[in-house]
């Protein structure tokens, strides 16, 4: 199915969702319609799977950036700067687009059990990767969490996704106060030590 998703991704980027031709994708991938529908439920399920793949890559890139920061920061690094990075990483235009794609995928997953399973696996894997990075921050003595690390990782990912509601305001001040509130909440969970 990776081959199918690769061709579907090209089709989606070249023609968009409205002009997306499933028959072109199936022919190019050499996959039957029944097999594609078994895995993804429908044409929309295939489009949503491409979108979740893109979102997954963005989550992984954010996780890599945060991990790089933790692994390469000087010994006297402030925990506060680390926590601010966790809150602000997805505050740019790419983060907003990522949240929009994820929202569309979640809607499609409501009626597609295979896609719902994929969304759940993506959330679990992303949280596990982030939890490993948070554990590195604990080992560096930056933070002393007040809740389970994996729970905090899930909370961070769901909070960042929930930020889509702030995105809709298109208001700089609303974004700033959301980031400050998220930082204060995260500080309570992570308990910065420096």
Same domain for 139 and 71, yes or no, is yes
C-beta of residue 82 within 8 angstroms of C-beta of residue 76: no
In this structure, how many other beta carbons lie within 10 angstroms of the beta carbon of residue 60? 14
pLDDT of residue 95: 83
**CATH code of 19's domain:** 1.10.10
Same domain for 156 and 97, yes or no, is yes
Tally of structural domains, the chain: 2
Quick one: which of 105, 123, 132, 130 has its CA closest to 44? Answer: 105
Per DSSP, the residues of the chain read: -HHHHHHHHHHHHHHTTTT--HHHHHHHHT--HHHHHHHHSSHHHHHHHHHHHHHHHHHHHHHHHHHHHHHHS-TT--HHHHHHHHHHTT-SHHHHHHHHHHHHHHHHHTT-HHHHHHHHHHHHHHHHHHHHHHHHHHHTTSB--SS-HHHHHHHHHHHHHHTHHHHTT--HHHHHHHHHHHHHHHHHHH-B--
Same domain for 65 and 89, yes or no, is yes
Mean pLDDT of the chain: 90
Instruction: Tell me the pLDDT band of 76, cut-offs 50, 70 and 90.
Output: confident
Assess whether pLDDT exceeds 80 at residue 87.
yes
Return the percentage of the chain with pLDDT > 70, whole number. Answer: 100
Same domain for 74 and 104, yes or no, is yes
Same domain for 31 and 59, yes or no, is no
pLDDT of residue 138: 96
Q: Summarize pLDDT for 29-63 with one digit per residue, the tens.
A: 999 999 999 988 888 888 888 877 877 788 888 88
Same domain for 8 and 67, yes or no, is no
Same domain for 34 and 81, yes or no, is no
Same domain for 2 and 93, yes or no, is no
**CATH code of 106's domain:** 1.10.357.10
**9-12 contacts, C-beta under 8 A, 24 or more apart:** 9/50, 9/53, 9/54, 12/47, 12/50
pLDDT of residue 78: 87
pLDDT of residue 129: 95
pLDDT of residue 44: 83
Burial 34-50 (b: 16+ CB within 10 A, else e): eebeebbbebbbbbbbb
- Does 152 reside within a domain? yes
Q: Which domain holds residue 165?
A: 52-190
Cα–Cα distance measured from residue 170 to residue 10, given in angstroms and rounded to the nearest whole number: 30
Return the percentage of the chain with pLDDT > 90, whole number. Answer: 58
- Does 74 reside within a domain? yes
Same domain for 33 and 58, yes or no, is no
Q: Summarize pLDDT for 120-137 with one digit per residue, the tens.
A: 888 999 999 999 999 999
C-beta of residue 83 within 8 angstroms of C-beta of residue 189: no
Same domain for 29 and 107, yes or no, is no
Assess whether pLDDT exceeds 90 at residue 189.
yes
Instruction: Tell me the pLDDT band of 94, cut-offs 50, 70 and 90.
Output: confident
- Does 46 reside within a domain? no
Instruction: Tell me the pLDDT band of 103, cut-offs 50, 70 and 90.
Output: confident
Cα–chain center distance at 23: 30
pTM of the model: 0.81
């Amino acid at each position: 199915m990776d081959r199918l998703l690769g061709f579907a991704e090209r089709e989606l980027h070249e023609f968009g969702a409205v002009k997306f031709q499933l028959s072109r994708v199936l022919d190019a991938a050499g996959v039957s319609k029944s097999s594609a529908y078994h895995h993804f439920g429908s044409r929309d399920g295939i489009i949503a799977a491409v979108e979740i793949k893109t979102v997954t890559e963005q989550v992984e890139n954010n996780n890599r950036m945060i991990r790089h920061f933790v692994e390469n920061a000087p010994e006297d690094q402030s925990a506060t700067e680390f926590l601010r990075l966790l809150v602000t990483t997805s505050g740019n235009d790419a983060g907003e687009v990522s949240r929009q794609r994820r929202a569309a995928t979640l809607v499609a997953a409501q009626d597609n059990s295979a896609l719902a399973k994929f969304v759940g696996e993506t959330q679990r894997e992303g949280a596990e990767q982030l939890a490993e990075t948070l554990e590195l921050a604990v080992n560096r003595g930056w933070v002393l969490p007040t809740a389970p690390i994996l729970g905090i990782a899930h909370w961070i990912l769901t909070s960042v996704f929930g930020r889509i509601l702030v995105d809709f305001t298109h208001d700089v001040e609303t974004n700033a106060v959301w980031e400050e509130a998220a930082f204060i909440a995260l500080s309570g969970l992570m308990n910065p030590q420096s």
